[in-house]
Amino acid sequence: MSGFDKPDAFVDSQDPEIVREAKKGVVEDTYSFTERDIILYNLGIGATAEQLQWTYEGDDDFQALPTFGVIPQFHASGGISLDWLPDFNPAKLLHGEQYLSIKAPIPTSGVLVSKARILEALDKGKAAAITSIIETREKSTGKLIFENQSTVFIRGSGGFGGKRSGIDRGAASAANSVPKRAPDAIVEEKTTPSQAALYRLSGDGNPLHILPEFAAIGGFEKPILHGLCSMGIAGKAVYQTYGAYKDIKVRFADVVYPGETLITEMWKEGSRVIFSVKVKERNVNVLASAAVTLVDGAAKAKL
């Protein structure tokens, strides 16, 4: 979005003063990475040793899977202060939605700089919905590589006088309703019991995904898989089926336990692929309101 670095870039006339001030803050984080980090991420979302373009740095087509774009921005996004919210309790924070726009070819090593700001702060009465926007650029050239928009819900932190409804953010806020017909494609992938232990090495070390006692405090029977890992697995399925895409958006509807099987159902609607993901063993929908926008003229990936 234009004007990202202007102090009042995202201030809305309906925002109360507390939100106006919060929107002025900028968090910056530098992410240095090598081909090893690309391979680790690809493995974390289920790439296999046979898929050399994702797991061997010497392959002619070596590349990051598209959803790698959520990794460099993670600490910038997570560094945004929410202490200004009433009764803020980080234990009551839920990751609600994620949008990733891929602005340029993804480098396989280098140094990226992410800047994060609050884009929208909605007062839902008993909860707050905070959307941050993060721009990730190459440090050496300033070229924009990724834009992320991440929405979190904080239970018990409403009542700060903010707007109740948000603006139309295009693909980032689209409802992506599933068509009333059978899916055009279905991909099934079983996660491994160690999937979360592997994925956390890409940067999200939240103990919720590794420590049973910490997961129990959150009300879960055992550690859960990262939502962004489920997004990556589904994004990989869409990429393998329909080819390159320039953006992807999901809503996190429920949790996945490592070892469960994810079923990604896809519907092609022009240049968009709407998809939905459920856990086979429990028949629970875990990713909803999800879609990608295909790159113009993208053919089915040769994978």
Asked whether the CA dihedral 136, 133, 89, 96 is positive or negative, the reply is: negative
Residue spans of beta strands (DSSP E) within the chain: 27-33, 93-102, 110-123, 127-138, 144-155, 185-190, 245-252, 261-269, 272-279, 284-294
Residue 295 CB coordination number (10 Å): 16
Rounded to whole angstroms, the Cα distance separating 245 from 226 reads 22
Measured distance CA(288)–CA(303) in Å, rounded:
26
Active site residue 227: yes
How many other C-beta atoms can be found within 10 angstroms of the C-beta atom of residue 296?
Answer: 8
- Whether residue 134 lies in the annotated active site: no
Active-site residue, selected from the candidate residues 15, 29, 37, 204: 204
φ/ψ region of 227 (left if φ > 0, alpha if ψ in -120 to 50, else beta) reads alpha
C-alpha closest to that of 22 among 150, 160, 126, 121: 121
Residue among 44, 158, 227, 243 flagged as catalytic:
227
Q: Which of 80, 145, 154, 224 is catalytic?
A: 224
Q: How far apart are the first and last CA of the chain?
A: 33
CB within 8 Å of 157: residues ≥ 6 apart: 82, 85, 86, 87, 88, 89, 92, 127, 128
**176 exposure class (CB count in 10 Å sphere: 0-12, 13-18, 19+):** buried
- Residue 83 among the catalytic residues: no
Is 75 known to be catalytic? no
Cβ-based neighbours of 2, under 8 Å, separated by 6 or more: none
The residues assigned a catalytic role are: 204, 209, 224, 227
